[in-house]
A and B are shown apart, each in its own frame.
Chain A
Amino acid sequence: MSTTSQKHRDFVAEPMGDKPVTALSGIGEVLGKKLEEQGFDRAFVVLGQYLLLRKDGELFTEWLKDTSGANTRNATSCSQCLREWCDAFL
């Protein structure tokens, strides 16, 4: 039984293309806006950041919390989402 949300499953199912940052699991409207302000307006930009951090889940979670003010749950969810996407498509 997976504990992932529908959003997570949708995101991981296909290449992200130009999906907005709010398509990421754990990133809702509020967090999405904050990220866009920082210049991360697309999911692939956030992916870029994840890759820059050498796909380290902990580092990425920390970065996301610092940048967007996300809580641990959302940050971990986003991190896990990106990791699975990378496993499938990278």
Chain B
Amino acid sequence: MAALRNKSDQEIKDLLNEYGIKHGPLVDTTRPLYEKKLKEAMAKAKVPVTKPSPDRTFYREDQEEVTYVTYQTPVRSEGPSGDGKPYMRSRPEYSERDRVDDKPYSRSRPEYSERDRVDDKLYSRSRPEYSSGRPYVDEPHVYNTLSSSSYSKPTPVVKSGGGVVKKENTTSSGRLIPLWIQFLVFLILAGFLYFIFTNMESAESSPFNRIQ
């Protein structure tokens, strides 16, 4: 592999095509350049195998998954009817967290996992609590509809309960905050700004009235 110099022109061309490097005719003047490009391409091709960062991201996913797993297993043992619970429970408690900790979103997840272990048995009680607390919650409107739908359809959630959760993990592997929460916050912010804006306008119009 290191003996690029000794390869024939045809072999170099084949290698260039293999790595998908666009090239022109292989001549004396162009050959050193293509050899260099091949070296870089070969080095790049080897690197991902030994790179630790993919492992790191994988580990993070793993971590997230682990929290979910520890969360689910005690609940699953409760009974088949509770199968839909883990998925739903995670959501409601998360929105509770949402209300309380508006800003430190990044913390909400680990806090959330801690609480789950504590409220392991209280879950059956927290359900009616949550349902009563639902109207109380003004902001996570979207989230409520989601949870209500998940309540009404426990079975599809159950079947892929683990799978859906895992899917959530894998899809949101790059995000600490789920996308829908980001959208929600953005909408709230936009609405708030609009509210201020409209108020400002009315304030401006009043001086005119007074003068005239």
B24 nearest CB neighbor, chain A only: A54
Contact residues of A: prevailing secondary structure? helix
* Contact (Cβ within 8 A) A52 B24: yes
Given contacts A49-B29, A63-B30, contact A54 B36 (CB under 8 A): no
Chain A residues whose C-beta falls within 8 Å of the C-beta of B24 in the assembled complex: 51-54, 56, 59
Most buried by A among B24, B25, B36: B24
Task: Confirm or deny: B22 has a beta carbon within 8 angstroms of a beta carbon on chain A.
Answer: yes
Whether the Cβ atoms of A66 and B33 lie closer than 8 Å is yes
> In chain B, what residue has the closest Cβ to A63?
B33
> What 0/1 readout, one digit per residue, does chain A (41-68) give for beta carbons within 8 Å of chain B?
0000000010111101001001100100
Q: List 12 A-B contacts (CB under 8 A).
A: A52-B24, A52-B27, A52-B30, A53-B30, A53-B33, A54-B22, A59-B22, A62-B36, A62-B37, A63-B30, A63-B33, A66-B36
Q: Which residues of A contact B (CB under 8 A)?
A: 49, 51-54, 56, 59, 62-63, 66
Closest 10 CB pairs of A and B: A54-B24, A63-B33, A52-B24, A53-B24, A52-B30, A49-B29, A52-B25, A52-B27, A66-B33, A62-B33
